[in-house]
Amino acid sequence: MVALDLASAAEAEFGEIEAAGSISDRLSAAGPAVQGRLVKAGLPVEEAPLRVMDEFPPPFHQFGWSAFAPDREDEENFGVEPGVYFLRSRLRPFYSELLFAHEVIHTVTGKRDPEVFAMGLEEGLAEAVGSCFGALAVLEPATIRNILLHGRHGVDRPKLWSVYLDHTRQAYLLYREFGLTGLIELIKQGRAAIHRAEELVVQGRYRELDLPRGNWDPDTGALLDFLCCGYLSSHVFSPVECLLVFHAEPGRSLDEVCERANVAPEIGRPALESLGAQSALFVRDGERIGYSNVARYRALEENGPVKVMRYRLP
């Protein structure tokens, strides 16, 4: 399985990355395009200088961030000038452009009421309006989808990315109800208003928000549909379990599945018994596989853009 994945990666086309020059140059070109798209949609994005550094200024040097956007309060308390800061060692093609689009949203909320702590729903709004809408100025939808898939739905993702995904789902509820027009108005109202909106989302009362409605962008909607609702992220197994699952077709005996997967029966049979009870991918009928959805998901993977059944390296 690893060999197949490495072969697939080796066939990838990296010409666009090689032709674009340094990542810093890419970011410098991407910044105005992203900001222009957001301004055109009604978000008052002021100039947010790009600052690529070898080390973040104190006290932000102690965090493991790739980028951050300081508030006006940070400038007053720590002397950190406004802008979007990137750590040079963490720059990545495409990902850094997406991250700029996310961070620039914080430059707007941070001007209204910077004394209010960010996080929460604000991160979801930055994902929806920044990563899924603003970044479309410089990245293709498929590129954005893949970055968010492997980040927010990564097999071994840090808990923080799961929290971001939860808040993106909250923002998605608001997007479906109010569109980009409503989300942008909420961002303009600042952090206190965003926290109040999150309370209503959790209470199931978000339709009570006094926000305008409009501008449901098709590409942004498709990205949020996939990220928040469409993708199946739960089918993650060990490498041995994955091999067994791939061969769990109806009518095959447990020993035959083990043989085809090249897994010893004393290891494979208990794993199949557990998988049959917990994975919801197939059902055992005594010593055989009775029903199975494995072939359907394998076909979906071959015809679609993403993997459904994934393995976690030990």
pLDDT 10s digits, 16-72: 666 566 888 888 889 999 999 999 999 999 878 889 999 999 999 988 889 999 888
Q: How sure is the predictor about 187, in pLDDT bands with cuts at 50, 70 and 90?
A: very high
**Closest C-alpha to 275, from 260, 251, 257, 262:** 257
Residue 13 has pLDDT above 90, yes or no: no
CA torsion angle for 246, 252, 256, 262 (degrees, to 10)? Answer: 0
Residue 304 has pLDDT above 80, yes or no: no
Q: 284 near 272, Cβ under 8 Å? A: yes
Q: Which two tokens stand for residue 257?
A: 């599945």
Residue of 313 and 96 predicted with greater confidence: 96
Question: Which residues of the chain does CATH 1.10.10.10 include?
Answer: 236-311
Q: How sure is the predictor about 14, in pLDDT bands with cuts at 50, 70 and 90?
A: low
What is the SS3 string spanning the chain? CHHHHHHHHHCCCCHHHHHCCCHHHHHHHHHHHHHHHHHHCCCCCCCCCEEEECCCCCCHHHCCCCEECCCHHHHHHHCCCCCEEEEHHHCCCCHHHHHHHHHHHHHHHHHHCCCCCCCCHHHHHHHHHHHCCHHHHCCCHHHHHHHHHHHHCCCCCCHHHHHHHHHHHHHHHHHHHHHHHHHHHHHHHCHHHHHHHHHHHHCCCHHHCCCCCCCCCHHHHHHHHHHHHHCCCCCEECHHHHHHHHCCCCCCEHHHHHHHHCCCHHHHHHHHHHHHHHCCCEEEECCEEEEECHHHHHHHHHHCCCCCCEECCC
Q: Which two tokens stand for residue 275?
A: 């998988």
Residue 196 has pLDDT above 90, yes or no: yes
Residue of 23 and 250 predicted with greater confidence: 250
For the chain, the residue count is 314
pLDDT of 15 reads 61
pLDDT in tens, 257-278: 999 999 999 999 999 999 988 8
| Lowest-confidence segment of 75-84, 137-146, 189-198, 241-250 by average pLDDT | 75-84
pLDDT of 228 reads 96
pLDDT in tens, 69-88: 988 888 888 999 988 999 99
Q: Return the CATH class of domain 236-311.
A: mainly alpha
pLDDT of 16 reads 62
pLDDT in tens, 91-149: 998 999 999 999 999 999 888 787 787 889 999 999 999 999 999 999 999 999 999 99
Residue of 314 and 105 predicted with greater confidence: 105
pLDDT of 57 reads 93
Q: How sure is the predictor about 305, in pLDDT bands with cuts at 50, 70 and 90?
A: confident
